[in-house]
A = this chain, B = another copy of it.
Amino acid sequence: MSMSVQRGWNFLQTPGPTNIPNRILNAMHRPAIEFLGPDFINFSDKIFASLKTVFKSQGQPFIYAANGHGAWEAAISNVLAPGDMVLVPETGRFALSWKYMAEMLHVKCEILPNNHREAIRPEDVAQRLERDTEHNIKAILLVHVDTSNGIAADIAGVRAAIHKAKHPALLMVDTIASLMTTDYRMDEWGVDVTVAAGQKGLMLPPGLSFCVANDKALAIADDNKAMPRSYWDWRDRLDKEVFYKAFCGTAPEHLLFGLEAAIDMLLEEGFENVFSRHARLARAVHAAVDKWAESGALEHCAVNPGERSNSVTTILLNKAYDPLELRDICRERFNIGLGNGMGQFMDHSFRIGHMGDLNEAMLFGVLGAIEAGLKLARIPYSAGGINAAIDSLTRD
C-alpha cells in the first residue's frame, strides 16, 4: 500500500498493533511448508510447549488464526452455554466490549460497575459473589489491563475475592494488553481461562490469538453441548488423531514463525527484564505526563499512580482542546501514531502505547514529538516532559 511521503521511521504508539522487530518480520519472510509434514509438526509441538512458559501455566494452550476478539469468543463459547450468566467487572471500555460479544453469543451479562478511572476493587467482586447464593454466575470476565484507560486490575486479588466468597465461578482473564508487558501468572493466580493476542506485547503482526484453559475449564467445555461452535471448539482441537485439528485446518504458519522468533527474543532478554523494561519506560511516560499536566490542561486518566499499567497511558484533555488535532499533528508532522480516545473519554483523550519493542531512545522520540505536538496544537502544557523522562530513566 502506498502512503503519503514521509521520511524516517514511523513510531506506532497505538496500544496495538505495536512496533514489530525486524527479526520477527524476517522470520516470516520465508516459504510456507507442508503443514502436515514432520518439520511443521515438530515445530508446532515446540510452540505449544513454549506458550506454557509464556503464560506460566500447565494449562492447555490453543492457538487461533484470529484476532483478540476471536479469542474472546473462543473462551466464551467453550465454557458458557446460551442463557448462562457472567459477571463483568467494569474495568473500562474493553470490559463492555467483551460483554457485548458475550451477549451476541446469548450469554447473560451483569456489569459490576466502576468509574473507568480507578481499578476495580476485588472486594466489590467478593460482595457480589456472596450475594449470588444460588451460584448463577458461571464466570467472571476480567480484563487485566484495559486498553481504553490503561488501568491494570489486580488478578490475584480477584481470585482471593472469589475464594473468600466460596464461589465456583470461573475466572476468565483477558491479557491481550498486558501479556509480556507485566508479570502474569495464570496458575499461581488461579485463572481458569486466559485470553491473549499476538500484536501487543508479543510484537507480532495482528492475526494470532490464544486461549489457555486449565483442567476445570476443559472439563466444562467437554460437557458444553448447548453452545454451537466448531472453529473455536477445544474438544476438536485436542483430537490427537488428526494433527490438523490442532488448528482446525490450515495452520497460520507465518504468524507462528513470527511467534517463535518473538518468544526466542523475549527469553533471550529474560521475562523479568522485559517486565522491568516496560515498567521503567512506563514510569518515564508517567513522569512526562505529570510534568505537562502542571498546566492544568491535561491529566492522567488513571487517578491512582499504582494502578497505571506498563502497557498504555491514557491522557485526558481539558474539553477546550481537541485530541484529534493533536493526533493528526503527531501523525502528519512527526510520524507518530497515537491511540484514539475510547468510551466515555472518546472525545477528550488520547493514548500512548508503550509496549512491545520499545526502548529509551524511541520513547524520547515519542515524548518529544508529543511535546512539540502540544505546542503546535496550542494545548497548554508545562514544558520539560522529556527532561522529566530523562530524570526518571537515569535514576532507575
Q: Residues of A with Cβ closer than 8 Å to B? A: 1, 3-12, 14, 16-22, 25-26, 28-37, 39, 43, 46, 64-70, 73, 77, 82, 100-101, 104-106, 197, 199, 205-208, 227-231, 233, 236, 247-255, 257, 260, 265, 268-269, 274, 277, 331, 333-337, 340, 357-369, 371-372, 375-376, 383-384, 386-387, 389-390, 393-394
Report the bound CA distance from A331 to B360 in whole Å.
11
Which residues of B sit under 8 angstroms from A359, Cβ to Cβ?
6-9, 334-335
A206-B254, A365-B366 known; 15 new pairs, CB 8 Å cut-off, are A1-B43, A7-B359, A8-B357, A8-B358, A9-B9, A9-B357, A9-B361, A25-B29, A65-B70, A68-B250, A104-B228, A334-B360, A360-B372, A364-B367, A371-B390
A70 nearest CB across to chain B (Å):
5
Q: Which residues of B contact A254 (CB under 8 A)?
A: 28, 205-207
Q: Which residue of B lies closest to A230 (CB)?
A: B104
Copies in the complex: 4
Q: A368 near B367 (CB under 8 angstroms)?
A: yes
B361→A386 contact, CB < 8 A:
no
> When chains A and B are docked, how far (Å) is the Cα of A257 from the Cα of B205?
11
Partner of A337, one of B33, B68, B357, B386: B33
Closest to A254 in B: B205
Do B70 and A66 touch (CB < 8 A)?
yes
Question: Which residues of B are found within 8 Å of A30, using beta-carbon distances?
Answer: 22, 25-26
Report chain B residues within 8 Å CB of A375.
Answer: 390, 394
Residues of B within 8 A of A101 (CB): 230-231
